[in-house]
A and B are shown apart, each in its own frame.
Chain A
Amino acid sequence: MFSMSEKELGKKWDRCLADGAIKLGTGLGLGIVFSVLFFKRHTWPISLGSGAGLGMAYANCQNNLRSHYMLHRGDKEQ
């Protein structure tokens, strides 16, 4: 069946938000682990981890939203 393009865009945004939340949580968790173990409970590893997580989510989101307009290698027709 046909998929409505506006619904696909909504699904992509939903996935973006969920992915952002997951990566923020993961970055926060790993930052806390590193801060407690190696950096004497300073705050900066936590901020670094959360920021890196958000950045990864942003990059994923960007790729997902752009992939619609890109040509993929498998699309080459003979």
Chain B
Amino acid sequence: MATRIWPVMKLATKVTIAGGAVYVAYDSGLLGNSEQGSEALRKAKAVIPPAMEEWMKYFGVEAQLPTIPKIEFSPVDAWNSGVQWTISNLSEAPTKATEYTSQGLQYLKDLTK
């Protein structure tokens, strides 16, 4: 009787764990629309430092974690400035090329004098 119940028990445990994981993901709004997702992210960010402190105390490590720097990097701004830099350099490239060539030729002429 026990040999027949054991596989069923195993399956039931696995289904419970998997179902619980899916339910937790659904309940915390991770599978919803983008506002729920960013809400969950903010909650997680707020919870992490106290949790880290608890863990540090538990393990007896009293090191001070460096504060996470506020990342002010905006991909859109960076992309825009990158595009502007590339295009302006491309537009100046012919002029600069002629300048450098003439400078180089002048230098060679000076060498041969």
Contact = CB atoms under 8 A, between A and B. Distances in A.
Interface residues of A, number: 22
Interface in B6-32: 14, 17-18, 21-22, 25, 30-31
Interface residues of B, number: 18
A19 B74 contact: no
Contact of B30 (A16, A22, A37, A61): A22
30 contacts: A15-B34, A15-B35, A15-B37, A15-B38, A16-B34, A18-B34, A18-B37, A19-B37, A19-B38, A22-B37, A22-B40, A23-B31, A26-B30, A26-B31, A29-B25, A30-B22, A33-B17, A33-B18, A37-B14, A37-B17, A37-B18, A38-B14, A38-B18, A56-B31, A57-B34, A60-B33, A61-B34, A63-B33, A64-B33, A64-B34
